[in-house]
Amino acid sequence: MSATVAEEVPVSPLRLGLERFARNRTAVVASGLILLFILGALAAPLIAPHDPADADLFRRLQPPAWQEGGEWAFPLGCDSLGRDILSRLLHGARVSLLVAALVIGIAAVIGTLAGLTAGYLRGWADTLISRLVDTLLGFPYLVFAIGLMAMMGPGLHNIILVLIYKEWVFSCRVVRGETLAAREQDYVEAARALGCGTRHIMLREILPNVLSPVLVVATFRMAYVIIMEASLSFLGLGVQPPTPSWGSMVADGRDFLVDAWWVSTLPGLAILALVLSINLASQGLRDAFDPRLHHA
């Protein structure tokens, strides 16, 4: 009897999920890469060999160090204004990650609160929020972002706002669905019977139970947001010079594709590496934390 009891000591779903995640080698390697990007971005002012805005026309389109004409002082070569590409990549990572973190973080908070409200209160609050969600889903993402950026003007601040305007919808939809289901569960009924207030039930009872899907949605949306920022910057609607952004770096190199492949190719590779890592890690998270998948 006692043995059975010992075996049934509950292990938290979080710990179970993390253990499953740790066994997924691809996801762990991808997470390591993401961590490297984050460290590189944080330490950019310390480790970047040069000032990312430091132009020198004598070094115009200087090739990477391993090619003829390159030198190790500028390991990845220089762009059309003679600026060091490695330094610009490191500083560009700050923009990509800052936009992704702020947009996803703020959108997740807004979306979760809106989803909880709509799902738990129902009624006019649900109608209002759901209509707004449907309307925002009525725009292709990039069309919405480009249209709004066109009106608001380019810049880091606006890019973050515009992406949040659309992004919260995704966590809201997930949380609303989960809340609708949780509403009928025994533990919520019990809390209600005990006389707990609406706010208490929403934030203390339901919220902890909907957090893991929010986490999963947030990570895979992050990859999308990074591509969005890069796309807007590529079109010239994003972060403005002299601040380097990977998207605008790709655009800068467009006219020199033939003579200087590295100017466009390297920042594009950086985007691909980061986005792919995030996608792999988020797939690992989904496999580890989505219990429905494990029953399937």
Partner 1 sequence: MTASRLLERLLQTLPVLFGVSLIVFLMITLTPGDPVEIMLADSRATPEQAAQLRADLGLDRPLPQRFLVFLGNALTGDFGISFFHRRPVRDVIAERLPATIELTLAAILLAIAVAIPLGVIAAVKRDTWLDRALTALSLFGVSLPGFWFGLLLILLFAVQLGVFPVGGRTDFDLEVARVTGFLLIDSVIAGRPDAFLAALRHLALPAITLGLPTAALLTRVVRSAMAEVLTSDYVLFAEAKGLSRRRVLLRHALKNALIPVVTVAAIETGSLLGGNMIVETVFGWPGLGRLVVESIFARNYPLVQAAVLLYAVTYVMLNFTADLLYTALNPKVRL
Residue of the chain from 211, 283, 287, 290 that contacts partner 1 (CB under 8 A) = 283
Residue of 171, 163, 193 lying closest to 117 (CA atoms): 171
Query: In the numeric block, which tokens belong to residue 255?
Result: 């006219």
Decide: is 34 part of the binding site for partner 1 (CB under 8 A): no
Residue 265: Cβ within 10 Å count? 13
Cβ–Cβ under 8 Å, residues 205 and 194: no
Decide: is 114 part of the binding site for partner 1 (CB under 8 A): no
Residue at token pair 């934030």: 203
Residue 150: Cβ within 10 Å count? 11
Residue at token pair 């090739």: 63
Give the contact letters, 184-223, x = binds to partner 1 (CB under 8 A), - = no. Answer: ---------------------------------------x
Beta bridge partners of 78: 84
Decide: is 85 part of the binding site for partner 1 (CB under 8 A): no
- Closer of 150 and 190 to partner 1 (Cβ): 150
Decide: is 146 part of the binding site for partner 1 (CB under 8 A): yes
Residue of the chain from 55, 102, 109, 142 that contacts partner 1 (CB under 8 A) = 142
Decide: is 240 part of the binding site for partner 1 (CB under 8 A): no
Shortest distance, position 46 Cβ to partner 1, whole Å: 28
d(CA 84, CA 27): 32
d(CA 34, CA 279): 11
- Closer of 19 and 255 to partner 1 (Cβ): 255
Coil, helix or strand at residue 257 = coil
CA–centroid distance for 107 within its chain: 10
d(CA 188, CA 192): 6
- Closer of 127 and 185 to partner 1 (Cβ): 127
Decide: is 103 part of the binding site for partner 1 (CB under 8 A): no
Shortest distance, position 101 Cβ to partner 1, whole Å: 19
DSSP state of 12: P
Dihedral angle, C-alpha 240, 246, 247, 249, nearest 10 °: 80
Shortest distance, position 238 Cβ to partner 1, whole Å: 12
CA angle 164, 165, 171 (to 5 degrees): 65
- Count of positions on this chain that bind partner 1 (CB under 8 A): 46
Decide: is 276 part of the binding site for partner 1 (CB under 8 A): yes
Cβ–Cβ under 8 Å, residues 115 and 175: yes
Shortest distance, position 228 Cβ to partner 1, whole Å: 10
Within positions 249 to 268, which residues make up the interface with partner 1, using CB under 8 A? 250-251, 253-254, 257-258, 261, 264-265, 267-268
Task: Identify how many contiguous H helices and E strands the chain contains and give both numbers.
Answer: 14, 0
Decide: is 120 part of the binding site for partner 1 (CB under 8 A): no
Shortest distance, position 201 Cβ to partner 1, whole Å: 30
Shortest distance, position 247 Cβ to partner 1, whole Å: 7
Residue of the chain from 213, 235, 240, 290 that contacts partner 1 (CB under 8 A) = 235
Interface residues with partner 1 (CB under 8 A)?
A: 131-132, 134-136, 138-144, 146-152, 223, 227, 230-231, 234-237, 247, 250-251, 253-254, 257-258, 261, 264-265, 267-268, 271-272, 275-276, 279-280, 283
